[in-house]
Amino acid sequence: MRPREIPGVASVIEAGAEDRVFDALLLLGPLVIVLVALLHRSILTEIVAGGYIAVFVLYTLYQGLS
């Protein structure tokens, strides 16, 4: 089964900025929030959330500067 065949994924991929990294961030985002809500504040959850934002910011800059 390809990722595109998972319910909901196809519509995310077809919309938006047509960029796989941003698509992946959008699909993973709700899971990160659920993780943070369930595991509460810890080093692990802070690293995951911080990593998510770092990828978003750095990739946006990379896209613009490349």
Q: Quick check: 43 binds other proteins (CB under 8 A)?
A: no
- In the list 14, 20, 42, 44, the residue contacting other proteins (rule: CB under 8 A) is 14
Q: Quick check: 44 binds other proteins (CB under 8 A)?
A: no
To other proteins, the closest distance from the beta carbon of 7 in angstroms equals: 16
What DSSP letter does each residue of 1-66 carry, written as one string?
A: --GGGSTTHHHHHHSTTS-HHHHHHHHHHHHHHHHHHHH-S-HHHHHHHHHHHHHHHHHHHHHHH-
Q: Quick check: 52 binds other proteins (CB under 8 A)?
A: yes
Q: Quick check: 3 binds other proteins (CB under 8 A)?
A: no
